[in-house]
Amino acid sequence: MHAAFLDWDSLNGDELDRSQLDVLPLDWQYFSNINTTELEQTINDFDIVVSNKIILDQRLLALSHRLKYIAIAATGTNNVDLKTAADKKIVVSNVRGYATDSVVQHVFMLILNLMRRFTHYQNSLANNEWQNSEYFCLLTHPVESLSGKTLGIIGYGELGQAVAKIGECFGMNILIAQSLTDQNQSRERVPLAQVYAQADVISLHCPLTPDSYDLINRDVFAQMKDSAFLINTARGGMVNEQDLFLALQSGQIAGAALDVLSQEPPESTSMLIKKSLPNLIITPHIAWASRQARQCLLDKVAENIRSWLAGKTINQVN
């Protein structure tokens, strides 16, 4: 059987151990980042493909009469047309729980940077403000402690639960928002409006679906405290970026930290990047990407394929 990894370099794969893939009874081809034309020409050569972010839509899947299995090297499944795959009897699996530690650590890195005004003080140092101060410390930017702050979590799967646990360790009060789709809510969950109004920090951890698209918009910013921070390490499409820009520019909220944007990679003309807002931190979709997490991801992809080859499919999503 022939298999292809379609975007190997998206994992910076050369620093990882791929032996768990190579030991499988498959003839592998590793593409750095296959383009659409090449994929159209080669997709019918493979029984198995692995994709991190390469789009496998209805048109592409229709070109393949050989493909039997798609391994998504991620948790999100929006890069694969699951219905078309099911119609063609192509099994699709994803990987879960590989980057929890990495994402949670990144979330709190962002929260702490905002609360402790890290970027502001780095800029102050670069501008010689401390060096020229008459005092032993510089207190030109207000610094806050996490203890006693309220952390609102939207999306309470594995990541949301792990973020809540660490928030509790910092002494934060936790508000868990009601699910956007599940009507069988536990009593510990609260309405979204309560999270918006009461949280000092809101952290997003739900998948991008029609229910969550543009979830955080001007109406939400109007409900939030002017001292509140927004953290998004989930998917960019959940936040209306125009509305966020205006909320940050006007001081309607205190700040935001984003690891994801609606377009990735973004255009250099993106207002959130071009304007360099002092109360905005952007990282380039790296919350998930510790070396340990990427290795775990690769090993779990191999496990998914191994199980499917043995007739015991796991983590199927279609």
E-state strands within the chain: 2-5, 27-30, 48-51, 69-72, 91-93, 150-154, 173-177, 189-190, 201-204, 229-232, 255-258, 280-282
Q: What is the DSSP string of 111-169?
A: HHHHHTTHHHHHHHHHTTTTTT-SSSS--SS----STT-EEEEE--SHHHHHHHHHHHH
> Which entry of 285, 291, 294, 306 is annotated as an active-site residue?
285
Question: Is 235 assigned a catalytic role?
Answer: yes
> Which entry of 235, 241, 303, 306 is annotated as an active-site residue?
235
Q: Are 237 and 262 in contact (CB under 8 A)?
A: yes
Question: Is 285 assigned a catalytic role?
Answer: yes
- 286/274 Cα distance (integer angstroms): 20
Q: Are 309 and 27 in contact (CB under 8 A)?
A: no
> Which entry of 264, 267, 294, 303 is annotated as an active-site residue?
264
**Residues tagged active-site:** 235, 264, 285
